[in-house]
């Protein structure tokens, strides 16, 4: 179902123009400092890409949408753009671009041959008057033109922020249709920007909270297809799925993979009490990890696979706790007012995102793994289920509107709390799981 | 719960009557469905071995007259006095109608995370199960299940609706009906 991509990547060193002009505006390379402070978006210009006009235009627009969608870049209005160079290799007229206050310039050429496209691009620091980074070329099948565009945007983002990129990635989610008291749900997988949707389950049974394995090849999720909540695992490429739990006297739900994909941590209910268990993903063998008379649920692995953060109401209301993968006494890390839930450990390891309910308002928030530096990112009637972009800079989550016609929508927000935006989807959706950056 | 409709006999006769060709030889007596009422729409409730066909021996009677739902306070799983009254009647009915089994479905209001609400609903269902067992219902006759916040009864986002959604619903069905 999912194609194997042959995005090859060949790098060619920048030409001698790199030393043609002295740096004017700064000493080091052009860079956006990602801080909590308010920062001006960097002015970037993407003159019409050279080559095959139709596909070149589409790729240019996706690159521009990726970059401006971060809130870190603003595109120089196209009517303010000066004449582009006559060809991909031609020298850049830096003075002209400085006149319209462009800081960064992207030049690219797209050639199409049958079912293959090839995209060459370069990034220039306008004020320094030099190329920034190497010239690169991406070869892909024509049908994968969006991935080629995301790869270019990833390169630009990485060079200008110093951070790992995230545009060439996919998100698993649950589509919701039908009335609120008889919701129909099915799992889909899409590009991070809501495009290229693939449906992974039909609508015949209730499904909840798919979670990607770190390699993006499997999904683990909760399904009511037996009439009873159980955990299933699916191969994304073939859509083949199988039940991992089948005990009809014991509910199993909220599963997540370990970083190495060998284990699954999940909630298991017995006699009304819910605890945290670990399961071998291959054999299905289970062992308890956290057992208490309280509700222990919503576990999430640290990226090194050594610890697990989860939600427990053992103190009287739900709070966040961390336990080692070999068990032991959990350590409470949240102490603020309100109810804490659905924690998700950042792939960078530094932060935990979670849902926080204070009074009748919900928030997505983050804290360090020791519970310090709690930071509230959002507020609404109902926000929940945060998931991390593969670079740990952006959180996607579910926002539900109130009332009988209330609907869930996917939103994303930067970890600084800026750039809150709904995902562009023409249907209701919940429970996002952001997969890895694709190779 | 599965409610079988059995219009098969009537449909067969209608089909035969409508057939222009001579009917094939009838090798067996026509089936008379004992549960088919005048309108043909009666619910087949399984073979009520050892029971009666009185109106009390139906899931509908249980739902409407005994009361299949108990409510909980916000974030609570303890049974109120009112809930215990309803459950006492449920237990009495289940003890009388030993051919029925029950699945207790726990639910939670929409505020709260999906995972916590699944666990909360399980606790509510379990509280009901334990009460029914304590009232003499065989433990092998009562199972539990949680829908968390996935299946609200009322859809508004106010306490008036939340109060009705924090519930445990006892669903009865004849033993062997596949529940």
What number of C-beta contacts closer than 8 Å exist between A and B?
106
* Distance between A422 CA and the closest CA of chain B, angstroms: 20
Could you tell me the pLDDT band of residue B176, with boundaries at 50, 70 and 90? confident
Q: Could you tell me how far CA A15 lies from the centroid of its own chain?
A: 35
Tell me the per-residue pLDDT of A130-186, one tens digit each, with 9 for 90 and over: 999 999 999 999 999 999 999 999 999 999 999 999 999 999 999 999 999 999 999
- Overall fold of domain A170-437: Neuraminidase (2.120.10)
Q: Which of B77, B116, B151 sits opposite A181 (nearest CB)?
A: B151
Torsion of Cα atoms, B15 then B21 then B22 then B23, to 10°: -30
Q: Do A208 and B75 touch (CB under 8 A)?
A: no
Q: Largest alpha-carbon pair distance within chain B?
A: 68
pLDDT tens string A297-311: 999 999 999 999 999
Judged by DSSP in three states, A330 sits in: strand
3-state per-residue secondary structure call for chain B:
CCCEECCHHHHHHHHHHHCCCCCCCCCCCCCCCCCCCCCCCCEECCCCCCCCCCCCCCHHHHHHHHHCEEECCCCCCCCCHHHHHHHHHHHHHHHHCCCEEEEEEEECCCCCCHHHHHHHHHHHHHHHHHHHHHCCCCHHHEEEEEEECCCCCCCCCCHHHHHHHCEEEEEEEECCCCC
The whole-number pLDDT of residue A27 equals 54
Burial label for A399, CB within 10 Å (0-12, 13-18, 19+), is buried
Q: Which domains does chain B have, with CATH numbers?
A: 1-44 (no CATH), 51-174 (3.30.1330.60)
Tell if the CB–CB gap between A360 and B146 is shorter than 8 Å: no
- Rounded Cα gap, residues A51 and A148, in angstroms: 15
| A357 contacts B112? CB cut-off 8 A | yes
How large a percentage of chain A has pLDDT more than 70? 92
Nearest by CB: A297 against B115, B130, B151:
B115
Name the more confident of B177 and B52.
B177
Q: List, by residue range, all CATH 2.120.10.30 domains of chain A.
A: 170-437
Q: Are A141 and A116 in contact (CB under 8 A)?
A: yes
Contacts of A273 in chain B (CB under 8 A): 122-123, 126
Does the beta carbon of B143 lie under 8 angstroms from any beta carbon of chain A? yes
Per-residue pLDDT of chain A (439 residues; tens, 9 = 90+): 333 334 544 333 333 233 333 333 345 678 877 766 657 899 999 999 999 889 999 999 999 999 999 999 999 987 776 777 778 888 899 999 999 999 999 999 999 999 999 999 999 999 999 999 999 999 999 999 999 999 999 999 999 999 999 999 999 999 999 999 999 999 999 999 999 999 999 999 999 999 999 999 999 999 999 999 999 999 999 999 999 999 989 999 999 999 999 999 999 999 999 999 999 999 999 999 999 999 999 999 999 999 999 999 999 999 999 999 999 999 999 999 999 999 999 999 999 999 999 999 999 999 999 999 999 999 999 999 999 999 999 999 999 999 999 999 999 999 999 999 999 999 999 999 999 999 9
List CB contacts (< 8 A) between A274 and chain B: 118-119, 122-123
CA distance A250 to chain B (A): 9
Delimit the CATH 3.40.50.10070 region(s) of chain A: 8-161
Q: What is the pTM of this model?
A: 0.87
A-chain CB neighbours of B130 within 8 Å are: 272
Distance of residue B87 Cα from the nearest chain A Cα, in angstroms: 17
Q: Write out chain B residues lying below 8 Å of A208, CB-based.
A: 114, 150
- Closest chain A CA to residue B158: A403
| Chain B residues touching A381 at Cβ < 8 A | 157
CATH class held by domain A8-161? alpha beta
Contacts of B77 in chain A (CB under 8 A): 272
In Å, how far is B22's CA from the nearest CA of chain A?
43
């Amino acid at each position: 179902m999912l194609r194997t991509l042959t995005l090859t990547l060949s790098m060619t060193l920048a030409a001698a123009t790199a030393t043609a002009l002295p740096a004017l505006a700064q000493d080091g390379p052009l860079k956006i400092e990602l801080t909590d402070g308010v920062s001006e978006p960097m002015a970037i210009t993407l003159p019409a890409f050279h080559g095959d006009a139709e596909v070149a235009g589409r790729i240019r627009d996706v690159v521009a949408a990726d970059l401006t969608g971060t809130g870190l870049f603003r595109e120089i209005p196209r009517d303010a753009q000066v004449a582009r160079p006559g060809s991909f290799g031609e020298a850049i007229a830096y003075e002209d671009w400085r006149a319209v206050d462009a800081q960064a310039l992207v030049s690219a050429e797209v050639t199409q041959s049958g079912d293959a496209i090839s995209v060459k691009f370069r990034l220039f620091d306008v004020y320094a008057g030099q190329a920034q980074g190497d010239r690169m070329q991406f070869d892909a099948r024509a049908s994968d033109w969006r991935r080629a565009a995301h790869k270019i945007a990833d390169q630009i983002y990485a060079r200008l922020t110093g951070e790992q990129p995230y545009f060439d990635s996919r998100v698993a989610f649950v589509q919701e249709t039908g009335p609120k008291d008889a919701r129909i749900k099915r799992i889909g997988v899409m590009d991070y920007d809501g495009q290229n949707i693939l449906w992974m389950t039909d609508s015949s049974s209730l499904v909840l909270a798919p979670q990607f394995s770190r390699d993006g090849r499997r999904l683990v999720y909760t399904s009511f297809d037996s009439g009873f909540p159980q955990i299933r695992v699916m191969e994304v490429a073939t859509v083949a799925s199988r039940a991992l739990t089948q005990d009809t006297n014991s509910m199993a739900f909220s599963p997540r993979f370990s970083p190495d994909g060998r284990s699954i941590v999940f909630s298991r209910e017995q006699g009304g009490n819910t605890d945290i268990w670990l399961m071998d993903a291959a054999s299905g063998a289970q062992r308890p990890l956290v057992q208490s008379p309280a509700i222990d649920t919503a576990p999430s692995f640290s990226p090194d696979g050594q610890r697990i953060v989860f939600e427990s109401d053992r103190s009287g209301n739900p709070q966040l706790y961390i336990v080692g993968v070999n068990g032991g006494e959990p350590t409470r890390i949240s102490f603020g007012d309100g109810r804490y839930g659905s924690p998700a450990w950042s792939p960078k390891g530094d932060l935990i995102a979670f849902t926080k309910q204070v009074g009748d308002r919900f928030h997505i928030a983050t804290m360090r793994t020791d519970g310090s530096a709690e930071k509230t990112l959002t507020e609404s009637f109902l926000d929940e289920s945060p998931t991390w972009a593969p670079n740990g800079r952006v959180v996607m989550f579910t926002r539900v509107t109130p009332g009988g016609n209330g609907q869930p929508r996917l939103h994303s927000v930067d970890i600084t709390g800026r750039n809150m935006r709904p995902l562009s989807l023409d249907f209701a959706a919940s429970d996002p799981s952001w997969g890895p950056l694709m190779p | 719960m599965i409610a079988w409709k059995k219009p098969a006999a009537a449909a067969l006769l209608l089909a035969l009557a409508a057939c222009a060709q001579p009917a094939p030889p009838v090798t067996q007596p026509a089936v008379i469905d004992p549960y088919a009422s005048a309108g043909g729409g009666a619910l087949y409730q399984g073979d009520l071995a050892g029971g009666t066909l009185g109106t009390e021996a139906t899931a509908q009677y249980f739902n409407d007259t005994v009361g299949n739902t108990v409510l909980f306070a916000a974030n609570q799983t303890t049974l109120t006095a009112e809930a215990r009254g309803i459950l006492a009647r449920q237990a009495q009915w289940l003890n009388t109608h030993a051919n029925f089994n029950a699945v207790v479905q726990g639910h939670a209001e929409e505020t709260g995370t999906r995972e916590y609400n699944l666990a909360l609903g399980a606790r509510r269902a379990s509280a009901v199960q334990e009460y029914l067992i304590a009232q003499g219902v065989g433990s092998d006759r009562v199972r539990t299940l949680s829908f968390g916040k996935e299946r609200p009864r009322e859809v508004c986002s106010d306490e008036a609706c939340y109060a009705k959604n924090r519930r445990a619903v006892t669903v009865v069905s004849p033993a062997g009906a596949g529940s």
